[in-house]
Structures are given as C-alpha cells and as structure tokens.
Amino acid sequence: MTTRRDFLTSSAAAAAALSLRPQQAAAAAPTPRITASRPVVISSANGLRGVKVAYDRLTRGADTLDAIIAGVNIQELDADDQSVGIGGLPNADGVVQLDASCMHGPTKRAGSVGALEGIATPSLVAKAVMDYTDHIMLVGEGAKRFALAMGFKEQELLTEKTRQDWLRWRARLNKDDAWLDHDDDVAIKFTTGTINMNCVDAKGDISSVTTTSGMAWKIPGRIGDSPVIGAGQYCDNTVGAAGSTGRGEANIKVCGGFLTVEFMRQGLPPEQAVLRTLERLVAMTEQRLLRPDGRPNFDIQFYAVAKDGRYAAGTLYEGAQFAVCDEKGPRLEKCVHLFARPSR
C-alpha cells in the first residue's frame, strides 16, 4: 500500500519535474553512459602529422592526454613551424611567449601556462601543473621558474627565420623611424599560430590540449584563449571535447570550448554544436570588428569530438580544413562553415 507520506513525496517530485523548463530538465537529466567508442583524434590542420602519432599511441593503450600531447609536441619542437614552440612568431619586443592548456577527462583535472618564455613545450608544462600542483594556471616568470624546477630545459625559441620576420615587421611600423625597410618583396606575417588536438579512445575516455605562440607581434604579456580552460579547449569525459584556433579575443568572450561541449551535452551532433558556437561568437562580435555586411573581419575555427567518436570542425568562412586520424588513417577534411569566403 502507498502511505500518505509516500504519496506526498512522489507528488512533490513529479510537480517539481513538471515545473522545470525544457532547458532545465535537459540539464538535470543524467548524461547517457557510453562504455565503448570509436577511437579518433582530431586537430587543427597543422596537426596532420600529430594526429597519426596520437592515434597510434591510443591504439597501443596510451593514456588519452599523453597521446595528444605527444602529437602537439611535433609542432612545438619543429623550428620550421612558426605557429608554436621553437620558431614561434614573437611579441612586439621580439620575445617568444607561449601559452598552453590541457584537460584529462578520466580524472577531471586540468593544467595551464601563460606567457611562458624559454621553454619549447608549454603543453608538457601545463600537464606538469595539472599533475604536480593544486593549481590550474601559472603565468609569466612563475610559470618559467616552475618549469625549470620540474626539469625542463631553457632554450632560445627565436630562430633566425623568425627574427628576420620580426625585424621586417618592426622596420615597417613607421617609415620615418631609424630602422631601414628591407626585403620589400617578402610579405609580413600576421598570424594566430595555434594547434588544438582532441581525442577519444575505445573506452570512451577523452582529453584535449591547445598550445600556441599566440598572436604575432602582440603586446608583451598578452594572453589569448589557448591557456584559458573553457575557451581554448574544454573536456568532459561524459560528453566530449572541443577546442579552437584563430582570434582568441573573440573566443574568450563566448567560452567557446565549454559552449561547444554543452551543446553536445544537449544532444547536438558535433557539426551542429560547432556551428551554434560560431553563431554565438558572431552575435558577440563588437562593431569595430564587423565588415560592412555585418560579418566578422577575422576567422576562427572550432573542433569537437563526441564520446561515441563522432567529430567535426567549423569555421566562419568556407575553405578551412582540419586534421583527423581514425582507422582510415590521417587526412584533412573540410570544416563546416557559416559564410561563403568573402571576395577580394
């Protein structure tokens, strides 16, 4: 028999459930547990070599975060790659300052470093922050001192190629200054050099990492989205992972990594999740950064992988690609996009 107390308790619970808005009810519902997945690694296009390394490690039983950090280390240690690590494009003072963050789905832990100088692999320093401290983010001189204490070796990150790019940029800032312009036929790079990588293994465990040398010629001390947990990348082992490359200032305002994962939590597939995040980013773009047609005058990409192995990447303007590796091998695929590429 049902007692009066049982009846009142069940009635109150039912009434509370009915009073929830649909969004609240979806948030309150438990996330379905997936016990098996299709292993896959995705990243920005500059990680084509890295996704293969990470995938091979995954299939040999490596931890998800260890696997993708090994993948991004390839770019960090490549002196000819000016997107991150050795040879990364410097700030306005000619100093290479690196940022990185990582999240480990199974343990729900994270680590981050910002404005790190003299250490080529900020992704590994971010993981050391996660593994050995009660903190999540270390920056500047403190981050460097921590890295040296952990055994990382200091080295010069500014290569001669990168130094020459910086000298060309500085010389052309003011035609009336004391610096002579040179190599006029060489284009000056203005770049946001970053690599984001996300993965899921056969058990459904997930991790994410983003590492960067940041915006070229930035004001010293500038921090972009890459070391910001929830912006440059985010991981939830019950749902998936997401990260970004491109204009970090735009991404920070929408917490794009977190937002993309939350869209997947609500049931959207990765393709729709990245597009919804891009729509939100456009809505939050300030007027000075909009073209006459109301669209942003910059581009940005988001990458997402779900716990079951589905994946996608999205960009504002068509034409961008991203890297993926699964049982079919490493390859580049097209990003979904919001807008056609603007004509010049």
- Residue 265: CATH number of its domain: 3.60.20.30
Would 18 be classed as within a structural domain? no
Contact 207, 101 (CB under 8 A): no
Phi, psi (deg, nearest 5) at residue 196: -115, 140
Would 110 be classed as within a structural domain? yes
Would 201 be classed as within a structural domain? yes
Would 10 be classed as within a structural domain? no
pLDDT at 168: 85
pLDDT at 83: 83
Which domain range does residue 183 map to?
35-339
Give the rounded distance of the alpha carbon of 289 from its chain centre: 22
Would 2 be classed as within a structural domain? no
Q: Which helix (H) or strand (E) holds 303?
A: strand 300-306
* Distance between CA atoms of residues 226 and 137, nearest Å: 12
Would 3 be classed as within a structural domain? no
Tell me: the pLDDT tens digits for 258-315?
999 999 999 999 999 999 999 999 999 999 999 999 999 999 999 999 999 999 999 9
pLDDT at 34: 53
Nearest to 104 by CA among 213, 198, 226: 198
Residues in the chain with pLDDT values less than 70: 1-36, 182-192, 343-344
Would 24 be classed as within a structural domain? no
31 part of the active site: no
* Distance between CA atoms of residues 103 and 126, nearest Å: 9
* Number of structural domains the chain divides into: 1
Would 109 be classed as within a structural domain? yes
pLDDT at 188: 59
Among the listed residues 194, 260, 277, 315, the single catalytic one is: 194
End-to-end CA distance of the chain: 77
pLDDT at 167: 87
